Structure 1
Amino acid sequence: MKRDHHTTEDLHRLLKRGYSADDLRHLQAPADMVERALAQYQEQARQRQHDRNLHNQATYAMRLQSR
């Protein structure tokens, strides 16, 4: 279990460094682990985008209010 966690983190690091999903799929790693890591990474990216959007909306609203 702990080994899987470290492997997943390593896969996330590769994605952050610019490797593509196809690059990861060609590694010598269990396919289910790679797919799980990809799904987690994509979900985290969606969440970061959502958080950025909320932050930008709040900043815009605060600027309107201060006028």
Structure 2
Amino acid sequence: MRESLVDKTHEMGVDFDKFIAGVAADKSDMEMAQEFGVSEKTIQHFKNHFFRYGINDVQGQD
């Protein structure tokens, strides 16, 4: 089951709206990782999910 990006960011303590604003502002992974207190790999994962699946793509839930 693939969770929505909203759920994923929430689980990691990342403010979803600020994350989207960072993507829109073309902030680097390093900048965003420092801002949110997570690893660059986490930010890369979130960005990959966003560009591949969008915001609310949830599969496997009934």
TM-score w.r.t. structure 2 length? 0.39
- Pick 1 or 2: higher relative contact order, CA cutoff 8 A, min separation 6: 2
More helix by share: 1
Query: Which structure has the larger Rg?
Result: 1
